[in-house]
Structure formats: structure tokens, C-alpha cells
Amino acid sequence: MTSPTPSDREKVVSKLPPWLRQELKIRTAQLRVDIQDAVHQGIAQWSALASAPSSVDTSGAESFSTWLPAGQWESFRADARDRGVSLIQGLAQAVSLWLEMNPAPTVQRPSVVRRIVVCNQKGGVGKTAITAGTGEALAEDPDSLHPVRVARQFAVPPAAGSGSSLDLEDLPGLGMRVLLVDFDPQGHLTKQLGQQPLPIGGDSLTCHMAGEAKGPLADLVVPIPDERFGDRLHLLPACTDAFLLDVRLSTVRAREASLERALTPLESDYDVVIIDCPPSLGLSMDAAIYYGRRRENEQPGASGALIVVQAEDSSADAYDLLTSQINDLRDDLSLDIDYLGLVVNLYDGRRGFIATSSLQAWMDIKDPRVVAVVPDLKEQREAVRVKQPLFVYAPKGDQAVAMRALAREIS
Ligand SMILES: Nc1ncnc2c1ncn2[C@@H]1O[C@H](COP(=O)(O)OP(=O)(O)OP(=O)(O)O)[C@@H](O)[C@H]1O
Ligand SMILES: [Mg+2]
């Protein structure tokens, strides 16, 4: 973190080994502390010790500068001399001491598993891309830093390729345990993540929802392997038998609860479950919306519907149909159903008035509010083409940067 330098500080230039500097950068970001304050505290703690702690490997130390309260560096220099250690060694010890005394925070996990239902019966608006991107952002490694679009996230992003820069901040990953559910028989999410759909005739989510399970649902879940996700990002793959889901559900008792019944045994292993809905408004959609309803003891806005739209007129008609289905379900079954927000995807301001006026119309809705405006970005299409998770294909790209902002906006 950086903050304006107070006038009572003086600039000091010394050296730190790169690994220690990196640890300091990550830990201060995790604790949301300024680097200069951490160094200030570390030196104060080091000077207060009865004797110098064990030495630190400072080989390869590189130039490091920071700002300290006036006079602190001078007295540190004197203490180092008295202890017979070099300034570089003393500073490395002070920083190591601060790191020891300020451990990384543990990830705050929700007490009720969060359920995010990514929906819109309009096809091709980006539901699957947003499901995958949000899940990847939520599962990212909390012990390293990743670029996030900050501050201007409500502003309309510059047109792709316009060269304008966004405000970026390096932040620790969110470290959530995430289950992505491919609830669309087309299996796009499964394929995009480089996985295979489940074979027809075997066990599947459809079988579990229809009350015809052939084994534990957990046996069907696959991890999405990558160092940045650890073992936190999992997928329940699609099976083409889901094309018949509505028919198979027609004889099931309390069928709107069928997705919840199927997924409940998995929930204790996850912090967040994200449902990638098909482009339809059938019974399966009712089951997904029911699954996202607010549970007893759950904070408003922790779970609910995340609606992906585009800045064009046909999206508005689709949106009206979707919200009326959600409202009917809410009224018929007396449910609390929250909207997590609207994602305006594939935005291209170069399309002029149609794009800008439609975007304004989405913004004017207010509830649900627009939680992200995502431009039409080539790396998203490329990641799909090469069947790699976006965050593996282009972890520093604009799309990943926007997805991290979205994940934080709805957290
Ligand atoms: N922000 C984006 N920039 C560029 N391409 C995108 C973006 N979002 C989605 N796409 C691409 O647009 C296409 C449709 O996206 P996606 O499959 O996510 O939509 P969908 O709403 O899930 O579609 P369906 O209704 O068929 O399930 C995909 O090729 C995807 O990679
Ligand atoms: Mg899709």
C-alpha cells in the first residue's frame, strides 16, 4: 500500500534481499498496512530487543527505499553499530521480526455457504464466462498478490484497445473454496475449463435431482488444477442428460428444491457454490433460483441471482421475463430472493449511442445495481478457444483484472 508521505518523515535508502522485500509487500497488502509503517515498527521492535536476533541471509540484496519518522534511521544506525551488525543485516532482521510478529491473516469464511446463481435465459451474453471468471477470482491464492481493477470499477471502462489505463492495485487472492456447477446441458463451462462432460447413462447431477442417484455426488466433482487455485477450485461437470431435466423433474416432489437437495451433501466442503445456468426459463431455472434464496441466518445479499446482460435493447426484454419469473417464485413460495447485481458484459462504447444509452438504462435500475461493466476482450475468447481457465491463460489481462473486481464487489 502507498499513502501520501507525511512531512515529518525522511527518505532512507538501503538494501533488502528480493525475497524479503516480496514477503513484506505481500504481508502489508494482506494486512492493509503501509510498507513504511511496517518498516518503522520493525525497526522499533528490533531496537527494543535485548540483543540482535539470528542473522538473515542477505545475499543478492537490492536497493530498497522507504520513509521513516525523522531521527529513527540515525538511532537505528547507532544501535546496529553497537550490536556489531551491518545496516543491511539489521534492516533484514527488523523486517523479518515484523513479519514474525504480524502473521498473515486467516481467510474469513462465510458461516453459510454462499450460492451465486448466474443467470439470464438470453443466450450468449456471457453467463459461462462470468461464472468461470468469478469462481477463479474467488479461489485465487491468498498468499500472493494479483492485479485488481479498483476505484473506477463503476466507471465505464475504456473501449478495448483504446490504450487508456485503469487504476490497478495488487491485492492478495480471496482464497475461497469454490464449487462451479455446470448446470447447462451444453456443457460450455466444463469444456472451457478443459474438462470432459460426464458420460450419458452414468451418474450425474440430473440423476441426483431426479432422486435416482447412482453414487455420492462428490465422486463426480473434479479439481481445476493450477498452483494459483491450490485445491480450492472444483467443478461439477455437465452431462447431456440435463437436456431432459425438466421432463425428469416433472414427477419429482417439491421439484424447485431438487437442486438444493442434490447439492446439500457437498456444501460443507465449500465457501461458495456458483451455478452456471442454461439459457432457459424452465423448471431447472426455478430450481436454481430456489437454491439461491436467502436462508435463515444468512445475511441479505450474500447469496442470490447475478444477472449477466448486454448493453442492447433485446437484453432488456429478456431481463423483464427473468425478473418476473424470479418475482413469481418469490411470491408463490414466500421466499427471500436477493439480487447480487447486474453484470453488463461485452460492453463496447465504440458502438455509440445504443451502447451508452443502454448502459445508462441498466445503471438507472439501481436495484439490482450494476456491479461490473466488462468490455469485449480478446483474451476471454482466446482462453475459451484454448480451453484454459482465463486466470491460467491471462492472469494479468484486463479480463482477469475485471473479474477480480467483480468478485470483490459481490463479496
Ligand atoms: N467480456 C467478454 N469479452 C469477450 N468475449 C466474451 C466476453 N464474455 C463472453 N465472451 C465470449 O462470448 C461467447 C459467449 O459467452 P458465454 O458462453 O459465456 O455466454 P453464455 O451466456 O453462457 O451463453 P449460453 O447462453 O449459450 O450459455 C463465448 O465465446 C465467450 O468466450
Ligand atoms: Mg453458458
Q: Which pLDDT does position 164 carry in this prediction?
A: 45
The ligand 1 atom nearest the CA atom of 279? 25
- Rounded to 10 degrees, the C-alpha dihedral 347/236/256/329 comes to -20
Q: Which of 303, 279, 90 is nearest to 186 (CA)?
A: 279
310 Cβ below 6 A of ligand 1: no
When mean pLDDT is compared across 22-26, 149-153, 322-326, the lowest value belongs to: 149-153
How far apart CA 104 and CA 101 sit, in angstroms, is 10
Regarding the beta carbon of 380 and ligand 1, being less than 6 Å apart is answered: yes
pLDDT tens figures, 228-280: 999 999 999 999 998 889 888 888 889 999 999 999 999 999 999 999 999 98
Task: State the Rg of the chain over Cα.
Answer: 25
Residue 284 to residue 195: CA distance in whole angstroms: 23
Going by CA atoms, what residue is nearest to atom 8 of ligand 1? Answer: 126
Mean pLDDT of 202-223: 96
- Contact between 29 and 171 (Cβ < 8 Å): yes
A 10 A CB-CB count for 361 gives 14
> How would residue 6 be classed by pLDDT, with cut points 50, 70 and 90?
low
Cα–Cα distance between 190 and 237 in angstroms, integer?
A: 5
318 lines ligand 1 (CB under 6 A): no
Bridge partner residues of 222 (DSSP) = 235
Which residue's C-alpha cell is 435465459?
Answer: 121
Could you read off the pLDDT of 119-175 as tens digits, one per residue? 999 999 999 999 999 999 999 999 999 999 875 545 555 544 444 446 889 999 999
User: Domain spans of the chain?
Assistant: 9-101, 114-410
pLDDT for res 151: 59
Q: Note the pLDDT tens digit of each residue in 343-364.
A: 999 998 888 888 889 999 999 9
Give me the mean pLDDT over the 20-48 stretch.
96
Q: What stretch of H or E contains 331?
A: helix 313-332
Closest CA relative to residue 307, chosen from 323, 284, 291: 323
First-residue to last-residue Cα distance in the chain: 21
Q: Is the CB of 194 under 6 A from ligand 1?
A: no
Q: Distances in Å between the alpha carbon of 300 and those of 55, 277, 295, 297, 304?
A: 51, 22, 9, 9, 9
Which pLDDT score is estimated for 163? 41
Residue nearest ligand 1's atom 11 by CA: 381
pLDDT at 353: 86
Determine contact, residues 302/112, Cβ cutoff 8 Å: yes
Determine if ligand 1 sits within 6 Å of the CB of residue 129.
Answer: yes
Q: Which CATH number is correct for 114-410, 3.40.50.300, 3.30.200.210, 3.40.30.10, 3.50.50.60? A: 3.40.50.300
Q: Is the beta carbon of 185 within 6 A of some atom in ligand 1?
A: no
- The answer to whether the CB of 345 is under 6 A from ligand 1 is yes
Q: With beta carbons less than 8 A apart as the criterion, state whether 178 and 139 touch.
A: yes
**Three-point CA angle 144, 400, 1, nearest 5°:** 45
| Contact of 251 with 212, CB cutoff 8 Å | no
Which pLDDT belongs to residue 324?
93
Predicted pLDDT at 317: 87
pLDDT (tens digit per residue) in 177-192 = 999 999 999 999 999 9
Nearest to 181 by CA among 295, 125, 279, 259: 259
Q: What is the pLDDT of residues 81-106, one digit of tens each?
A: 999 999 999 999 999 999 999 999 99
Question: What percentage of the chain carries pLDDT values higher than 90?
Answer: 82
Task: Tell the residue number behind the cell numbers 522507504, with chain if given.
Answer: 66
Distance of CA 336 from the midpoint of ligand 1 (Å): 29
Residue minimizing CA distance to atom 14 of ligand 1? 124
- Measured from the Cα of 184, ligand 1's closest atom is 27
Rounded mean pLDDT, 65-86? 95
Distance CA 295, CA 274 (A): 16
Distance CA 149, CA 147 (A): 7
Q: Check if the beta carbon of residue 184 is closer than 8 Å to that of residue 238.
A: yes
By the 10 Å C-beta count (0-12 exposed, 13-18 middle, 19+ buried), 102 is classed as: middle
What is the C-alpha separation between 65 and 85, in angstroms, rounded?
19
* Ligand 1 atom at minimum distance from 402 CA: 1
Determine the distance from the C-alpha atom of residue 105 to the mean position of all C-alpha atoms in its chain, rounded to a whole number.
18
Q: Which residue has the higher pLDDT, 109 or 6?
A: 109
Q: What is the mean pLDDT of the chain?
A: 92
So what's the pLDDT on residue 157? 54
pLDDT of residue 160: 45
- The CA-atom distances, in angstroms, between 36 and each of 160, 243, 301, 317 are 36, 58, 37, 53
